[in-house]
Amino acid sequence: MTVERTQDPSSYVEQQQAATVLAPVYGQSDAPIDPFPTKEPNAFQVVWSNKKARIGIIILAVFVLMAIVGPWIAPYSLTDTHFPPGKGPSLAHWLGTTQSGQDVLTQLLNGARVSIFVGFVSGAIVICVALVVGFVAGYFGGWVDDVLSLLMNVMLVLPGLPLMILIAAYIPHHGIGEIILVMSITGWAFGGRTLRAQMLTLSRQDYVVSAKFAGESSLWIIFREILPNMLSYIIANFFGAVTGAILAEAGLEFLGLGNPSITSWGTMIYWAQNGDALLDGQWAWIIAPGLCIALLAASLTLINFGIDAVANPRLQED
């Protein structure tokens, strides 16, 4: 074959000749081979192509829709208390009525707002704190890392729910803002710890050292060179934090540490428990909000399966 006679592989002319000889074989003329001829799917397409994530997105979309239009499609007014109290499901009241004569379905549709709002806002705050603490600790290392790691470890070993109860008990006024505050204080350590570990790995990569050689500042390196490479990881952490916040919020309100006068899924279970719903056979009153909380948390977990596939292409389904 002609190629084998080519003595010096660095000779450009001979390479060209070799390419011409090989061209009919590979059906290739002068253009180099493009190994990725088709456009790569974007991140959302990857998530959507995952069956579990698709189910999660659909469930989440239903709940978000519920939070937006819930009060308008509710069959009755939230303040309407003149219905016969403590009745099970019927045609007029699909999920029954409460002890104080309110429609449970109306409450359920109104309660979606609080759960989703509190969940996403505390999730966002938690991930921001975790991001800053984890990034600073992981990137700069040294004594900064020692101090922040100690803080994170202390927060991690404190049992979460009792701490939340303690803080909530000391706060004089119990509103949505206070609940968000309590969860932000107690929730950031886990995310901070994992993001620190991820940062520690990525900041030792050669491309980070080369960015320093290119004269980039620390802030640029953290946010433009490293962060895009762990974006899916951060989003997964965010959804994890939202899930935790939704469950914790329901837990606090169930224990009566929230504001029982606002209508959320957590307070619904609190009032159902107070009204002996299970003893009176009003299963819908307690199961409906419980199921909503579980489904919302499950949808976020399912979406995380898809996000994992973005971070690790081997998990992608064909």
Partner 1 sequence: MSLREQGLQNKQTAPGRYVLELKDVSKVYEGRGHSTVAAYKVNFTVEPGKIVALVGESGSGKSTLARLITGIEKPTEGRITFGEWHVESLKSRQLRNYRKHVQMVFQDPFSALNPQNTVLHSIMRPLRRHLRLSEAEARERAFSIMSTVRLTPVEQFMNKKPHQLSGGQRQRLVIARAIAPEPELIVADEPVSMLDVSIRADVLNLIDEIRRTRNMSVIYITHDMLSARVLADEVIVLYRGHIVERGTSDEVLRNPSHPYTELLLESVPNPFEPKVRTASRAPEVSITRKQALVAPVKGAAGQGCPFAPRCPHVMDRCRTSIPSLTGDSRHQTACFKN
Q: Give me the residues that bind partner 1 (CB under 8 A), please.
A: 8-10, 32, 34-36, 205-207, 209-216, 225, 228-229
Within 27-141, residue ranges assigned H as helices are 43-49, 51-73, 104-140
The pair of three-digit structure tokens given for residue 166, joined into one six-digit string = 């303690």
Q: At closest approach, how far in Å is the CB of 203 from partner 1? A: 12
Looking at the Cβ atoms of 26 and 213, the one nearer to partner 1 is: 213
Please name the amino acid found at residue 102.
Q
H and E: helices and strands count for the chain? 13, 0
Looking at the Cβ atoms of 51 and 212, the one nearer to partner 1 is: 212
Which helix (DSSP H) or strand (DSSP E) does residue 293 occupy? helix 283-311
Q: At closest approach, how far in Å is the CB of 35 from partner 1? A: 7
Q: At closest approach, how far in Å is the CB of 208 from partner 1? A: 8
Sequence-distant (≥ 6) Cβ neighbours of residue 88 within 8 angstroms: 96, 281, 282, 283, 284
Print burial letters for 83-96: b (CB count within 10 Å at least 16), e (below 16). beebbbbeeebebb
Q: At closest approach, how far in Å is the CB of 9 from partner 1? A: 5
Looking at the Cβ atoms of 51 and 224, the one nearer to partner 1 is: 224
Looking at the Cβ atoms of 121 and 211, the one nearer to partner 1 is: 211
Q: Can you tell me the distance from the alpha carbon of 253 to that of 256, in angstroms, rounded to the nearest whole number?
A: 5
Looking at the Cβ atoms of 118 and 211, the one nearer to partner 1 is: 211
Q: Can you tell me the distance from the alpha carbon of 216 to that of 228, in angstroms, rounded to the nearest whole number?
A: 16
Q: At closest approach, how far in Å is the CB of 169 from partner 1? A: 47
Q: At closest approach, how far in Å is the CB of 38 from partner 1? A: 12
Looking at the Cβ atoms of 6 and 301, the one nearer to partner 1 is: 6
Looking at the Cβ atoms of 172 and 215, the one nearer to partner 1 is: 215
Dihedral angle sign, alpha carbons of residues 212, 214, 218, 219: negative
The pair of three-digit structure tokens given for residue 117, joined into one six-digit string = 């709002």
Q: At closest approach, how far in Å is the CB of 44 from partner 1? A: 17
CB 84 within 8 A of CB 101: yes
Which residue carries 């898809």 as its tokens?
306
Q: Can you tell me the distance from the alpha carbon of 311 to that of 65, in angstroms, rounded to the nearest whole number?
A: 29
Looking at the Cβ atoms of 201 and 274, the one nearer to partner 1 is: 201
CB 212 within 8 A of CB 298: no
Q: Can you tell me the distance from the alpha carbon of 302 to that of 295, in angstroms, rounded to the nearest whole number?
A: 10
CA 256 to chain centre: 26
Q: At closest approach, how far in Å is the CB of 218 from partner 1? A: 8
* Terminal-residue alpha carbon distance, the chain: 40
Looking at the Cβ atoms of 205 and 312, the one nearer to partner 1 is: 205
